[in-house]
A and B are shown apart, each in its own frame.
Chain A
Amino acid sequence: MERDNHQEGVAEGVKICDPPAESNPPADTLATSLSLLGNHMFPDPVERNYGTTVNREEPVDSLLSDVSAEEPSLNAESHSNQVTKLETEETESPECQNNVATQPSDRGAQDAATDSDQGDSGEFVVTMLAKAKLEEQGLGMKGRSSPLLEAGTEEYPAFMSHRDEDVTADSWRQHRKHVFVLSEAGKPIYSRYGSEEALSSTMGVMMALVSFVQSGDNIIRSVYSEENTVVFLQKGPLVLVCVSSSRQSERQLRGELLYVYYQIISMLTQASISRIFEHKKNYDLRRLLAGSEKILDGLLNLVDSDPSFLLAAVHCLPLASSLRDSLSQILQKAITPNLVFSILIARNQLLTIVQEKTVIEDTRLEPADVHLLLNLIGASSAFQAGEIWTPICLPLFNPDCYFYAYISYLDPPECTVCLLLLSTDKEAFYSVAECKRKIEEAMVAQNSLSLIAKVQSYSVSQVGVSDLRHFMYKPFDVPDNYRQLTQFTSPEMEAPYSSEEEKMRLLDLYRYMHSRIHSTSRPLKLIYHVAERETLLAWVTSKFELYTCFSPLVTKACAITAITKLLRWIKKEEDRLFIRYPPKYSTTPNPSKSSRGGKSDQQDSTDNGFLSLL
């Protein structure tokens, strides 16, 4: 069972079912949507230009208010009859779903008045499946706003978070990528923008879609419109939905949803989530996730801005191998029973990672788990003070168990170098904190901190290939990399990619290349792509995956020569660019105590105690 879980990992995302050919959804997806939404939802091309008017049509409202009845707490008084209906919906959803599909118009009359401001955002979700936004100028990704830019816009005062956004506003609709998480009962759990409460009817609509398709023994995977791709991912009792205008492939978007799911698992464990919902189908999971929204927000911002997620590989800071080795040895010596991972991080990139021996024989640390850890640290400025001790689950390692993470910065007040120690023992704080003291002492003795402070990422100019502007290189075959963390290397993004906007544009181009090269219908080995302002070449072999960006007008032949040079340079530098020989230590005398152990999950998740609070 263990391995099976992992197959679904982002790295092996291939398993995820074929996306329909772009802008040409397969008949069944379209058909189901059509029957559910009524033909109004897919207006003919002429209507499309007035997309926004479409959503005023009666059937839409009716569908919405129908679904919003699933949220009795919000509309309780006026909808008592429908609240009763809710009960039946849970148990006999196929029948009720038929209701939704076949009787839209007569409900319309009945419920037209119930369209509240919540309805408006729900309306959006429905209409965005079909509506065409007024044309943006230019082609492709040019006109799209980057999430980084959005974060800085003056639309909202700085102290107002995205959670306070007005979900009826156009600006809300125009976010490049929405992410929603809801429970099978249609209860909102998380929304990237806007509060979950305000979006409960929107989420109801989504759940209606999911369960309607389910009632026909199908699974809804995606809906395409001209502007947006809507991707659904169901994981256990959770449904995750992404509405994106980013032009990413369905598979990429689904991979991102999977990260969101994993981040939730990392906080609660899969076992307890299933148990909670077995116990109480319409449990409000926000009770347990309250306060974690910033961690999910941070993850989504990282997913948009850090290619590690796209490549499912970790980025380590380039470091002279002698320095890296000495840091590893420091970690290797500071151990205590049940310590399983020691990780040193600088500026959110790995310096080194040391693992417990028995653990490493058993499995390897997956990049996605490292990403979640890095995000947790990055999203929590609070970690900068004091020493943190917190339970955390590494979902790809074992989705049902907690580790206990010790997190502390080694260089206050700058707080750039962070130590992360993972133990399987909840009570081990003081002995793990003692490891930190040893590490601190050794680092002082070896002057490590000032050496680390000097470390920088590298510039593409060091490669010495003219016209090469940027690249991302992910090796598969490093001999020592076998069963090691998948890594990639990439230079700093420099001019002309120094503004946030341009960075995002380059990343979007990479995402496009990535989706082409990994297309399930027509996978490619090599793509030479002449874009408007640059030329890109992506190449996948059995040994590596490489994305390069050149100045425009570089010919294919030139690019290939340049790449040969680049590969030679990487080969020469690989000891510096990658963690090559990750050391191990042995702290667990009794391997069955490891978090991997089959039985320990029970104990662990009940130990964390919140089940008793249900």
Chain B
Amino acid sequence: MPEVSKMKKPDVKVVLLGDMNVGKTSLLHRYTERKFKDTISTVGGAFFLKQWGPYNISIWDTAGREQFHGLGSMYCRGAAAVILTYDVTNWQSLAELEERFLSLTDTANHDCIYAVVGNKADLTDPNAQLYQDSNVAPEDQTECEEERPEPQVLSACPTPPASPASLSGSVLHKQVAPEDAVAFYGRILRYKGLDEKSSLPAEKMCFETSAKTGYNVDTLFEALFDLVLPSILRKRNENQESPTVDLEECRGASNKRARSSCC
């Protein structure tokens, strides 16, 4: 590929994985645009470049639909961090991570870090629901205020939303407890053949977030970006040693593995 050169080359790759509708696009949108707005189900994958200090971080927001399953390993190729996202009100979404998405990460870097993120915490957790995103764009603040009393559960629960006083979030049953996520994190490490002691601890890598209110969203992304810094530095060093290496570097090698493992 002689052409791949001039592009402001991303230093590191972060991938969002998870079942459709768990809120991957919303999380990224909240983080980059400081807004929560109506989304449509992602088609394929969407690529974003995020400036983080002097570094370029590329973020892949992937589609959770089965239709695009086969592309997952391509998006994960060479990833430094994978955000495995589920919906705290939907047990199946956590199960899907294990059944369908974990194997896609086989193409990620060997030192890839994994975050387990339970989104839509506003539906079950008063703290998350009442959280105010301090960085909200001014014109968005009001929009948010209006939105808050109406939980985004209309299709699941067509009853009128609770009044702002009584927390509408309590209407929905929390299906996934933080312990479940921690246990899953342990299984990820085992799947990867990683030693629990030398890996990042579960408490650091399991999050509950709300793309709707912004709860924990910055925390999540910023923690991850900080954690991938070593990966960036290592990569820069490698690049100095062999200037031809780029994002596509491990394509050939991992291709076969990806194929055989996804079925």
- B29 lies within 8 A of chain A by Cβ: yes
Q: How far is the CB of B26 from chain A (nearest CB, A)?
A: 11
Q: In the complex, what residues of B have CB within 8 A of residue A608's CB?
A: 67-71
**In the bound complex, CA of A382 to CA of B33 (Å):** 13
Q: Chain B residue with minimal CB distance to A612?
A: B263
Q: How far is the CB of A101 from chain B (nearest CB, A)?
A: 38
**In the bound complex, CA of A294 to CA of B41 (Å):** 9
- B165 lies within 8 A of chain A by Cβ: no
Q: In the complex, what residues of B have CB within 8 A of residue A390's CB?
A: 43-45, 63, 68, 71
Pairwise interchain contact A389-B44, C-beta atoms closer than 8 A: yes
Q: Which of A42-71 contact B (CB under 8 A)?
A: none
Q: Chain B residue with minimal CB distance to A267?
A: B67
Pairwise interchain contact A389-B29, C-beta atoms closer than 8 A: no
- A452 lies within 8 A of chain B by Cβ: no
**In the bound complex, CA of A486 to CA of B248 (Å):** 39
- A558 lies within 8 A of chain B by Cβ: no
- A336 lies within 8 A of chain B by Cβ: yes
- A2 lies within 8 A of chain B by Cβ: no
Q: How far is the CB of A298 from chain B (nearest CB, A)?
A: 10
Question: B7's contact among A287, A294, A391, A430, by CB below 8 Å, is which?
Answer: A430
Question: A609's contact among B1, B21, B69, by CB below 8 Å, is which?
Answer: B69
Pairwise interchain contact A291-B4, C-beta atoms closer than 8 A: no
* Most B Cβ at <10 Å: residue of A290, A380, A382: A382
Q: In the complex, what residues of B have CB within 8 A of residue A607's CB?
A: 70
- A268 lies within 8 A of chain B by Cβ: yes
Number of A interface residues at 8 Å Cβ cutoff, please give it. Answer: 44
Question: B45's contact among A336, A389, A433, by CB below 8 Å, is which?
Answer: A389
**In the bound complex, CA of A427 to CA of B43 (Å):** 16
- B141 lies within 8 A of chain A by Cβ: no
**In the bound complex, CA of A405 to CA of B45 (Å):** 11
**In the bound complex, CA of A288 to CA of B3 (Å):** 35
Pairwise interchain contact A376-B158, C-beta atoms closer than 8 A: no
Q: Which of B1-42 contact A (CB under 8 A)?
A: 1, 3-7, 20-21, 25, 29, 32-33, 39-42
**In the bound complex, CA of A431 to CA of B7 (Å):** 9
**In the bound complex, CA of A385 to CA of B25 (Å):** 10
Pairwise interchain contact B67-A382, C-beta atoms closer than 8 A: no
Pairwise interchain contact A434-B66, C-beta atoms closer than 8 A: no
**In the bound complex, CA of A391 to CA of B74 (Å):** 12
Q: In the complex, what residues of B have CB within 8 A of residue A381's CB?
A: 40
**In the bound complex, CA of A268 to CA of B72 (Å):** 16
**In the bound complex, CA of A379 to CA of B39 (Å):** 11
- B65 lies within 8 A of chain A by Cβ: yes
Q: How far is the CB of B48 from chain A (nearest CB, A)?
A: 4
Q: In the complex, what residues of A have CB within 8 A of residue B68's CB?
A: 390-391, 608
Pairwise interchain contact A437-B155, C-beta atoms closer than 8 A: no
Pairwise interchain contact B65-A290, C-beta atoms closer than 8 A: yes
Known: A382-B43, A427-B74. A287 touches B263 (CB 8 A): no
Pairwise interchain contact A164-B154, C-beta atoms closer than 8 A: yes
Pairwise interchain contact B67-A268, C-beta atoms closer than 8 A: yes
- A225 lies within 8 A of chain B by Cβ: no
Q: In the complex, what residues of B have CB within 8 A of residue A294's CB?
A: 40-41
- A445 lies within 8 A of chain B by Cβ: no
Pairwise interchain contact A609-B155, C-beta atoms closer than 8 A: no
Residues 408-438 of chain A, each 1 if its beta carbon lies under 8 Å from chain B, else 0:
0000000000000000001101110111010
Number of B interface residues at 8 Å Cβ cutoff, please give it. Answer: 45
Q: Chain B residue with minimal CB distance to A385?
A: B46
**In the bound complex, CA of A390 to CA of B40 (Å):** 15
Pairwise interchain contact A382-B44, C-beta atoms closer than 8 A: no
- A557 lies within 8 A of chain B by Cβ: no
Pairwise interchain contact B48-A385, C-beta atoms closer than 8 A: yes
Q: How far is the CB of B57 from chain A (nearest CB, A)?
A: 13
Question: B262's contact among A376, A380, A391, A609, by CB below 8 Å, is which?
Answer: A609
Pairwise interchain contact B47-A429, C-beta atoms closer than 8 A: yes
Pairwise interchain contact B41-A291, C-beta atoms closer than 8 A: yes
**In the bound complex, CA of A382 to CA of B158 (Å):** 26
Q: Which of B138-177 contact A (CB under 8 A)?
A: 150, 154-155, 158
Q: In the complex, what residues of A have CB within 8 A of residue B122's CB?
A: none
Q: In the complex, what residues of A have CB within 8 A of residue B41's CB?
A: 290-292, 294
- A482 lies within 8 A of chain B by Cβ: no
**In the bound complex, CA of A287 to CA of B29 (Å):** 26
Pairwise interchain contact A287-B66, C-beta atoms closer than 8 A: yes
Q: How far is the CB of B254 from chain A (nearest CB, A)?
A: 11
- A388 lies within 8 A of chain B by Cβ: yes
Q: How far is the CB of B5 from chain A (nearest CB, A)?
A: 8
- B251 lies within 8 A of chain A by Cβ: yes
**In the bound complex, CA of A586 to CA of B67 (Å):** 31
Known: A268-B67, A290-B20. A430 touches B44 (CB 8 A): no
**In the bound complex, CA of A160 to CA of B154 (Å):** 8
- A479 lies within 8 A of chain B by Cβ: no
Q: In the complex, what residues of B have CB within 8 A of residue A159's CB?
A: 150, 154
Pairwise interchain contact B6-A385, C-beta atoms closer than 8 A: no
- B125 lies within 8 A of chain A by Cβ: no
- B247 lies within 8 A of chain A by Cβ: yes
**In the bound complex, CA of A388 to CA of B42 (Å):** 9
- A386 lies within 8 A of chain B by Cβ: yes
- A544 lies within 8 A of chain B by Cβ: no
- B61 lies within 8 A of chain A by Cβ: yes
**In the bound complex, CA of A613 to CA of B68 (Å):** 11
Pairwise interchain contact A382-B7, C-beta atoms closer than 8 A: no
Pairwise interchain contact A382-B65, C-beta atoms closer than 8 A: no
Pairwise interchain contact B43-A388, C-beta atoms closer than 8 A: yes
- A325 lies within 8 A of chain B by Cβ: no
Chosen A-B contacts, 14 in total, with CB atoms closer than 8 Å, are: A159-B150, A288-B65, A291-B20, A387-B46, A387-B47, A427-B251, A431-B4, A434-B5, A606-B70, A609-B71, A610-B69, A610-B70, A612-B69, A612-B262
Residues of A at the B interface (CB closer than 8 Å) are 159-160, 163-164, 267-268, 287-292, 294, 336, 376, 379-383, 385-391, 405, 426-427, 429-431, 433-435, 437, 606-610, 612-613
The 4 closest A-B pairs by CB, nearest first: A390-B44, A609-B70, A291-B41, A608-B70
Further 20 A-B residue pairs, CB within 8 A, beyond A268-B67, A291-B40: A163-B155, A164-B154, A267-B67, A288-B65, A288-B66, A290-B41, A291-B41, A336-B1, A381-B40, A385-B33, A386-B46, A387-B48, A389-B46, A391-B71, A430-B248, A433-B47, A434-B7, A612-B69, A613-B66, A613-B100
Residues of B at the A interface (CB closer than 8 Å) are 1, 3-7, 20-21, 25, 29, 32-33, 39-48, 61, 63-72, 74, 100, 150, 154-155, 158, 246-248, 251, 262-263
